[in-house]
Amino acid sequence: MAAVKGPQAVHTELPILNGQNGALPAKEAVTQAVETTKSDDLQRPAFEIEEHPIDQVRPIKVGVIGAGLAGITAGILFPAKVPGVDLRIYEKNADVGGTWFENTYPGVRCDIPAHVYQSGFSPNTQWTEEFAQGAEIRSYWQGLARKYDVYKYLRLQQKIERAVWQPEKGKWLVTIQGLKDQQTPRRYEEELDVLINAIGHFNAWKLPDYEGINSYQGTLFHSSNWNHEVDLQGKRVALIGNGASGLQVLPSIQPIAQHVDHYARNRTWVADSFGTTGVRRLEPNLFSEEQLESFKDPDTYLRYRKSVEEGYFSRFGAVFKNTPENQELREKWTKLMLSRIRKDSTLADKIIPDFPPNCRRPTPGPGYLEALGQENVSYIQTPIQRFTPTGIVTTDGVERPVDIVICATGANVDHAPPFSIIANNVDLKEAWTHDGLYGFPYNYLGMATPGFPNLLWIGGPHSTGQGGSVPNCLENQITYIAKLLRKLRAQGIKSLAPSKAATDDFVEYCDTFYPRTVWTGNDDSTPGQKNCRSWYNGGRPGGRIHGLFPGSASHLNYLRRDPRWEDWEYTYTNPSGNRFAYFGNGWTQRELEKGADLTPHLNRPDTIDLRTYLEGWWDA
Ligand SMILES: Cc1cc2nc3c(=O)[nH]c(=O)nc-3n(C[C@H](O)[C@H](O)[C@H](O)COP(=O)(O)OP(=O)(O)OC[C@H]3O[C@@H](n4cnc5c(N)ncnc54)[C@H](O)[C@@H]3O)c2cc1C
Ligand SMILES: NC(=O)c1ccc[n+]([C@@H]2O[C@H](COP(=O)([O-])OP(=O)(O)OC[C@H]3O[C@@H](n4cnc5c(N)ncnc54)[C@H](OP(=O)(O)O)[C@@H]3O)[C@@H](O)[C@H]2O)c1
């Protein structure tokens, strides 16, 4: 059993009181027989019937932090699936879009087809190119937010700074910084019944902390915070990092800059196209007018979508170690990479990674390898040692002066939240870091953490299965959370949190499953399995995997269809703690409303699907 150190999650389920004043001898006898009543519980008030119909839900305030794809989708699905919920979505930026609002670097675009990287319920038939550019993606998601009225739940330019759980109240106290007036930012507090983190994996972008970096006198910025004031024309530029961002930036700046020093301390796999064509070109794959016209026909478009998207649900075999599928990728990508640098044979020995394909997220990098071979690009694999006021020194003592440094150095990869989230004297901001109490993002199914009641995650650690698409994964996760919210408000539940036992079982499953995969391809003694470091493993070769779920995208969708209620612990709003207090006074609301439909179960027989017959939460 992979029991995790740290405080025991408080077991909050309350035993049955069963008429502690002795009014019901038969029940009392049962209670004594099962010995569930402790002296503590006897001090709780006696249970009294709550005077309300069973289906009168308690009002809850739900706060979502972040309005990227996750927050926007939550803003669409929660009001539909949890009608009447008091929802507020806090976003530190001036508009929605998250990744696609902030990343405006030249060349930013999705590396999977836009027809896959979109909502399942409101797709765009008219994407202009197969791999849409950042601006088109941003405008699609902003359009979706407008179409579904998400803006009415939005609190823009409001940054969450801290959240503290108040167990007596069963509410989170959040501290918010209003950023509308930059000169005098306003700080205030709000109480929320449920707090949902949708803050993204890559939003807390990170600059390196090399010695001397603060005394560097040229211009320095992160690719996620592009400085559009700076003209690269004729300049000496340093580009640090060869993740997916660095791979998009290099071919965009190489034709403009006088010279680019590209610092890539580790090698990376460059994949074949993730789309319908083989090798990705730098030029856009524009859709023809005929194609765009044909997509207006719903059946044709559905067929097209399914044909493209099925590829994303069928690549799981290649994540397992030493499988023919993974070996095939190694051969295919090696050949492809070498063919793409044909102008510069000196690169051949320097680009093929030691670790297996898929150990870190691959990307097709259109134009990257071609740019690497250009005369005005230096590919520098020696690690950086320090900065000087005018340039960068590598560990071999070579100093290279530059006018501009672009850091495509990614984000915090430990997945610890960048602000304090405190409950039961533990702060996740510290507990989840490598040196913290847990040492990794200790969580239940990428959804919640023991000891942190009413705190949920969308798109957090372990949130995506391998393959599939991010929007589809988020829709499934949000639907799962909607079920938790409906239960919480409808069944008199004050708080819910996953049990420590269930979470430890999940950790044990992860620890046993991941070694089968190339994500743990970090055995330094085996050729081809070395030095793999990425946001999947917290940036540490051999580190615990938490970037991906231990299963395929389809596997994750399957298991998220129904929450395992037995893995959760609950407290109740009724002072007696009786779990059935929500039964109320025996009535349903509709019986008390004049003219209400008392027979919602009756429908035209030809509209009945027996698989879902009498299973709708909305028509009971
Ligand atoms: C440059 C780039 C390109 C990418 N391309 C692809 C791709 O091609 N395909 C793919 O599948 N994935 C891609 N990704 C991954 C991408 O991040 C996800 O697909 C998706 O956009 C994540 O959405 P999200 O809502 O979970 O997070 P984000 O888009 O990161 O949104 C998080 C939001 O939370 C807000 N926030 C954070 N902290 C706070 C706070 N304290 N208070 C208030 N608000 C806060 C942020 O401002 C942000 O708006 C890319 C990532 C990057 C960085
Ligand atoms: N559509 C797309 O094509 C696209 C574009 C951008 C991002 N994305 C998504 O976003 C994720 C993150 O991509 P990303 O490129 O922003 O980040 P990333 O994959 O984490 O890559 C960061 C890069 O910076 C390097 N780095 C970090 N700290 C460094 C330091 N101190 N000194 C030198 N190098 C340093 C890393 O090197 P090491 O590997 O040696 O640590 C790595 O090469 C991707 O995996 C992908 O999911 C997709």
DSSP string, 130-174: SS-BHHHHHHHHHHHHHHTTGGGGEEETEEEEEEEEETTTTEEEE
pLDDT for the residue numbered 281: 79
Q: Which residues contact 498 (CB under 8 A, 6 or more apart)?
A: 444, 445, 447, 448, 449, 450, 567, 568, 569
Q: In this structure, are strands 186-192 and 171-178 parallel, antiparallel, or unpaired?
A: antiparallel
Distance, CA 526 to ligand 1 centroid (Å)? 35
Does residue 531 sit in the same domain as residue 499? yes
User: Is residue 583 one of the residues assigned to a domain?
Assistant: no
Two tokens at 315? 């690549």
Residues 113 and 136: their CA atoms lie apart, in Å, by 13
Q: Is 50 in the pocket of ligand 2 (CB under 6 A)?
A: no
**Confidence at residue 614, expressed as pLDDT on a 0 to 100 scale:** 95
Tell me, what's the pLDDT at 354?
Answer: 87
SS3 string, 171-229, reads: EEEEEEEECCCCCCCEEEEEEECEEEECCCCCCCECCCCCECHHHCCCEEEEHHHCCCC
Amino acid (1-letter code) at residue 32: Q
> CA 459 to CA 171: how far, in whole Å?
23
Report yes or no on 359 lying in a domain: no
**Residue 392: predicted pLDDT:** 98
Is residue 127 domain-resident? no
What pLDDT is recorded for position 346?
84
SS (H, E, C) 448-517: ECCCCCCEEECCCCCCCCECCCHHHHHHHHHHHHHHHHHHHHHCCEEEEEECHHHHHHHHHHHHHHHHHE
What's the confidence (pLDDT) of residue 15? 27
CA of 360 to the centre of ligand 2 (A): 10
CB 376 within 8 A of CB 254: yes
Closest C-alpha to ligand 2, atom 45: 361
Ligand 2 atom with least separation from CA of 112? 1
Query: How confident is the model at residue 185, as a pLDDT?
Result: 77
Calpha distance 82→489 (Å, rounded): 9
Ligand index nearest the alpha carbon of residue 362: 2
- Which residue, by CA, sits nearest to atom 36 of ligand 2? 241
Q: What is the CATH number of the domain that holds 444?
A: 3.50.50.60
Do 425 and 376 reside in the same domain of the chain? no
Output the CA–CA distances (angstroms, integers) from residue 506 to 57, 445, 476, 567, in the order listed.
32, 7, 19, 11
Q: Please report the pLDDT score of residue 343 as a whole number.
A: 61
Say whether 245 sits in a helix, a strand or coil.
Answer: helix
Tokens of 451: 């000891």
Please check whether residues 496 and 385 belong to one and the same domain: no
- pLDDT the model gives residue 557: 97
327 and 225 belong to one structural domain: yes
* Residues 398, 505 within the same domain: no
Give tens-digit pLDDT for 103-113: 999 999 999 99
Low-confidence ranges of the chain (pLDDT < 70): 1-42, 274-279, 343-344, 522-530
* Predicted pLDDT of residue 273: 77
Q: Please report whether residue 461 resides in a domain.
A: yes
Find the domain containing 261 and state its range. Answer: 213-268+315-350+366-407
CA distance 501 to 564: 13
- According to DSSP, the residues that pair with 117 across neighbouring strands are none
Burial 131-151, CB ≥16 within 10 A → b, else e? bbbbebbbebbbebbeebebe
Task: Spell out which residues line ligand 1, taking CB within 6 angstroms.
Answer: 65-71, 90-93, 98-99, 103, 108, 110-112, 117, 159-160, 198-200, 202-203, 245, 419, 459, 470
pLDDT of the residue at 122:
98
Judge whether 132 lies within some domain: no
Q: State the distance from the centre of ligand 2 to the C-alpha of 22, rounded, in angstroms.
A: 66
CB 618 within 8 A of CB 82: no
In this structure, is residue 424 part of a structural domain? Answer: yes
Residue 539 CA, closest ligand 2 atom number:
41
* 258 and 401 part of one domain: yes
Choice from 117, 245, 406 to test ligand 2 binding pocket (greatest atom count within 8 A of CB): 245
Is residue 522, in this structure, part of any structural domain at all?
yes
CA distances from 148 to 78, 135, 224, 524 (A): 11, 20, 28, 51
Last residue within a domain, chosen from 527, 551, 571: 571
What's the chain's length in residues? Answer: 620
Identify the nearest ligand to the CA of 63 by its number.
1
* Residue in the structure block whose two tokens are 């449920």: 194
DSSP string, 304-341: HHHHHHGGGGS-GGGGBTT-HHHHHHHHHHHHHHHHHT
Question: What region, left, alpha or beta, does residue 410 occupy, with left being phi > 0 and alpha being psi -120 to 50 degrees?
Answer: left
* pLDDT at 278 (0 to 100): 61
Same domain, 188 and 324: no
Residues 322 and 374 in one domain: yes
Query: Same domain, yes or no, for 506 and 392?
Result: no
| Residue 461: both structure tokens together | 């650690």
**Cα–ligand 1 centroid distance for 461 (angstroms):** 13
In terms of Cα–Cα distance, which of 275, 274, 316 is closest to 554?
316
* Residue 563 DSSP SS3: coil
Domain match, 223 and 324 both: yes
* Gap from CA of 101 to ligand 1 centroid (Å): 9
Specify the number of domains making up the chain.
Answer: 2
pLDDT tens digit string along 281-329?
788 899 999 999 999 999 999 999 999 999 999 989 999 998 999 999 9
120 assigned to some structural domain:
no
The answer on 500 and 386 residing in a single domain is no
Ligand nearest to the CA of 540: 2
Could you tell me if the CB of 462 is within 6 A of ligand 2? no
Q: Rounded distance, CA 332 to CA 319, Å?
A: 15
3-class SS of residue 421: strand
Q: In this structure, are 426 and 488 located in the same domain?
A: yes
Q: Per residue in 519-531, is it b (16+ CB within 10 Å) or e — as a string? A: bbbbbeeeeebbb
Q: How far is the CA of 102 from the centre of ligand 1 (A)?
A: 9
